[in-house]
Amino acid sequence: LAPSHSGARRWRRILYWIPVLFIGLLLGWSYYAYAGQLCVVSMENIGEQVVCLIVYHLLFAMFVWSYWKTIFTLPMNPSKEFHLSYAEKELLEREPRGETHQEILKRAARDLPVYTRTMSGAIRYCDRCQLIKPDRCHHCSVCDKCILKMDHHCPWVNNCVGFSNYKFFLLFLAYSLLYCLFIAATDLQYFIKFWTNGLPDTQAKFHIMFLFFAAAMFSVSLSSLFGYHCWLVSKNKSTLEAFRSPVFRHGTDKNGFSLGFSKNLRQVFGDEKKYWPLPVFSSLGDGCSFPTCLVNQDLEQPSTPAGLTPAIKNLEGHQFPSKPLRESQSHLLTDSQSWTDNSTNLDKGKVGKKDNLCSFVLKDEKLNLMVHVKCDLL
């Protein structure tokens, strides 16, 4: 890079920290205003003072911890197996586009658990990183990298929100919302006193007023953002997927990764409930491959028309449904690395278990149809 180019990039990197600095300063001021000016200076009741200070510090600590983890957890990038080999890159350079280009990519992606495609049905490939994009992975133009299960690039944390820190981001939203609601609720009576001239004429009264305004304003914006992300988690969607549904081999499927409410929740928060409220990593999977609900509807819902019975019938009768079912990878579900290389016409031997899930993989080479039926053992 030319010196002026790298200089501009360095300046841009510094500028990206301004929103984080703004939140940091706001948080520092809110600590001084709430703990110092409101609790210590203005509250007269000792009991109220102690309870407010304890709850406040607890929320403050959780807020700072989850915010810190969201900012400083590095986003995860696709593993080595998704990168093209030197020979494959050379071949691609000779065939910049067209059918041969796609053939090279298809061959390279043969053993990879990639089930999503571009809008035109092609293999998702990142020219910039020279790799085959895993499902739910996107290239971030700010980070200039491919980010696993990318949600969005967040300027308020100066980081990409994705597989590695999505849980931290959700907790950051939740604790910052609780922090603002708590401040607004406990500050309200002093805020009213301000307008009815019930407060002594000190500088504390202005801190109390601004604190209420700021807390109420942030509560409104945070609750809408947090509500939106709760909905996304319940549907197992990323922000990017909410705007553009993922395309599978059989077509677009807006609920392609949804496994039903409780399983969707566990995908982000993990199986152990004691870790749910803490910003420690507990999400399920490796970020490169994701289980999907394959039989049209959520398996948890009894209204599922296909249910388990037709799937088992298929398994026994070796008959495939005329309409392709929802496909999936199953690194999370099967123990085997790959099943696509199997030369037998019908392979129903690969059965894997994880998280109380059982997956059967059937493959018919001639029809080039793969039915991946997953059923809940419980």
> Residue 139 interacts with Zn ion (CB under 5 A)?
yes
> Residue 58 interacts with Zn ion (CB under 5 A)?
no
Tell me the closest approach of the beta carbon of residue 176 to Zn ion, in angstroms. Answer: 21
Q: How far apart are CA 145 and CA 143, in angstroms?
A: 5
Residues in region 287-306 near Zn ion by CB under 5 A: none
| Segment interacting with Zn ion, rule: CB under 5 A, options 137-145, 192-200, 226-234, 276-284 | 137-145
Cite the active site residues. Answer: 154
> Residue 126 interacts with Zn ion (CB under 5 A)?
yes
> Residue 76 interacts with Zn ion (CB under 5 A)?
no
Q: Using CA atoms of 118, 123, 129, 135 in order, give the dihedral in degrees to the nearest 10.
A: 70
**According to CB under 5 A, which one of 129, 157, 180, 373 is a site residue for Zn ion?**
129
> Residue 142 interacts with Zn ion (CB under 5 A)?
yes
> Residue 146 interacts with Zn ion (CB under 5 A)?
yes
> Residue 132 interacts with Zn ion (CB under 5 A)?
no
Contact (Cβ atoms closer than 8 angstroms) between residue 293 and residue 258 = yes
* Sheet of strand 251-252: strand arrangement: 116-117, 247-248, 251-252
Q: What is the DSSP letter of 337?
A: S
Let me know how long the chain is.
378
**Could you tell me how many residues of this chain bind Zn ion (CB under 5 A)?**
10
Helix (H, G, I), strand (E, B) or coil at 23: helix
Nearer to Zn ion, 107 or 128 (CB): 128
Residues in region 21-50 near Zn ion by CB under 5 A: none
Nearer to Zn ion, 160 or 204 (CB): 160
Q: Among the residues of the chain, which ranges form H helices?
A: 3-15, 18-31, 46-72, 86-94, 99-108, 166-195, 204-235, 239-243, 261-269, 309-317
Nearer to Zn ion, 15 or 51 (CB): 15
Contact (Cβ atoms closer than 8 angstroms) between residue 131 and residue 147 = no
Q: How far apart are CA 172 and CA 184, in angstroms?
A: 18
Contact (Cβ atoms closer than 8 angstroms) between residue 151 and residue 143 = no
| Segment interacting with Zn ion, rule: CB under 5 A, options 85-93, 139-147, 222-230, 314-322 | 139-147
**According to CB under 5 A, which one of 23, 64, 140, 369 is a site residue for Zn ion?**
140
Nearer to Zn ion, 20 or 143 (CB): 143
Q: How far apart are CA 304 and CA 296, in angstroms?
A: 8
Contact (Cβ atoms closer than 8 angstroms) between residue 247 and residue 124 = no
| Segment interacting with Zn ion, rule: CB under 5 A, options 150-158, 233-241, 248-256, 308-316 | 150-158
| Segment interacting with Zn ion, rule: CB under 5 A, options 145-153, 204-212, 265-273, 301-309 | 145-153
Tell me the closest approach of the beta carbon of residue 240 to Zn ion, in angstroms. Answer: 12
Per-residue binder mask for Zn ion (CB under 5 A), 153-182, x = binder:
x------x----------------------
Q: Using CA atoms of 352, 353, 357, 363 in order, give the dihedral in degrees to the nearest 10.
A: 0
Tell me the closest approach of the beta carbon of residue 150 to Zn ion, in angstroms. Answer: 7
Comparing C-alpha atoms, which of 240, 235, 265 is closest to residue 133?
240
Contact residues: Zn ion, CB under 5 A: 126, 128-129, 139-140, 142-143, 146, 153, 160
